[in-house]
């Protein structure tokens, strides 16, 4: 019986999250109501409130789960060489592509920038821990520059419906990082 309840609980949360993500594609969280989420999920409001306080709480839970998952994902990789860094970036882009709808929605114009900033902080720390070998002040500025540029490329890639493979985007970002304005664009 407990297993059945757990599955039902997981299903309910999944449907509510999917419904909110779908609504956020078209409008900001401030315009989304619990009633809309429930109608889209085909769940009654009392069920919603047994899981979440309000729509913002639901969004926060989605973001927290994504961040925890991202941390676990990045912690699984060791970056000892340039080749490792490129493979890690490719794996990260595969991760993003597998969660394309959610990432695209949480990074779109209707979303709060806190989520994007949190991703940038995680990525920046990862870069500083694994990649940059210079004074900390310079490293902080360089990592901000690199991560912000890479984040915009990823957002553009998501907006363009991930037409290129994760490997192609990883190689492009790597080329921009290492060759900058001297990169030869095909």
d(Cα 18, Cα 173) in Å, to the nearest integer?
Answer: 30
Domain boundary among 61, 85, 107: 61
d(Cα 19, Cα 105) in Å, to the nearest integer?
Answer: 12
DSSP state, residue 131: T
Q: What is the pLDDT of residues 87-99, one digit of tens each?
A: 888 888 998 899 8
Residue 66: inside a domain: no
Residue 72: inside a domain: no
d(Cα 34, Cα 50) in Å, to the nearest integer?
Answer: 13
Domain identity same for 139 and 167: yes
Given a cut of 70, whether residue 181 has pLDDT beyond it is: no
Q: Is the dihedral of CA 69, 71, 77, 79 positive or negative?
A: positive
CA end-to-end span of the chain: 59
Domain identity same for 52 and 110: no
Domain identity same for 36 and 88: no
CATH at residue 18: 1.10.10.60
Given a cut of 60, whether residue 104 has pLDDT beyond it is: yes
Domain housing 14: 1-61
Domain identity same for 89 and 175: yes
- Give me the number of domains the chain comprises: 2
Which pLDDT band holds residue 134 (cuts at 50, 70, 90)?
low
> Global pTM?
0.79
Given a cut of 70, whether residue 110 has pLDDT beyond it is: no
DSSP state, residue 185: -
Given a cut of 60, whether residue 132 has pLDDT beyond it is: no
User: What is the pLDDT at residue 6?
Assistant: 86
Residue 22: inside a domain: yes
Domain identity same for 85 and 161: yes
The beta-carbon contacts of 160-167 under 8 Å, at least 24 apart in sequence, are 162/97, 162/100, 166/90, 166/91, 166/93, 166/94, 166/96, 166/97, 167/90, 167/93
Domain identity same for 47 and 97: no
Residue 4: inside a domain: yes
Q: Mean of the per-residue pLDDT values for the chain?
A: 84
Given a cut of 60, whether residue 150 has pLDDT beyond it is: yes
Domain boundary among 29, 61, 93: 61
Domain identity same for 30 and 99: no
DSSP state, residue 26: T
Domain identity same for 44 and 125: no
Residue 177: inside a domain: yes
Residue 152: inside a domain: yes
Which pLDDT band holds residue 1 (cuts at 50, 70, 90)?
low
Pick from 123, 125, 129, 112: nearest CA to 55: 112
Q: What is the pLDDT of residues 31-76, one digit of tens each?
A: 999 999 999 999 999 999 999 999 999 999 999 998 888 888 777 7
pLDDT, mean of residues 142-171? 89
Residue 185: inside a domain: yes
Residue 70: inside a domain: no
Q: What are phi and psi of 159, to 5 degrees?
A: -65, -35
């Amino acid at each position: 019986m407990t297993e059945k309840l757990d599955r039902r609980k997981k299903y309910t949360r999944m449907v509510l999250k999917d419904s909110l993500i779908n609504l956020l594609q078209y409008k900001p969280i401030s315009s989304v109501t619990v009633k809309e989420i429930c109608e889209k999920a085909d769940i009654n409001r009392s069920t919603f409130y047994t899981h979440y306080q309000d729509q913002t709480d639901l969004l926060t839970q989605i973001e927290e789960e994504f961040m925890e998952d991202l941390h676990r994902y990045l912690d699984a990789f060791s970056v000892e060489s340039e080749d490792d860094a490129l493979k890690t970036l490719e794996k990260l882009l595969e991760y993003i592509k597998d969660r394309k709808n959610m990432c695209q929605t949480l990074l779109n114009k209707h979303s709060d920038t806190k989520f994007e900033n949190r991703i940038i902080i995680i990525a920046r720390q990862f870069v500083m821990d694994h990649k940059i070998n210079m004074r900390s002040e310079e490293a902080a500025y360089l990592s901000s520059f690199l991560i912000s540029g890479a984040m915009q490329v990823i957002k553009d890639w998501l907006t363009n419906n991930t037409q290129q493979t994760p490997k192609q985007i990883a190689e492009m970002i790597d080329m921009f990082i290492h060759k900058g304005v001297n990169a030869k664009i095909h």
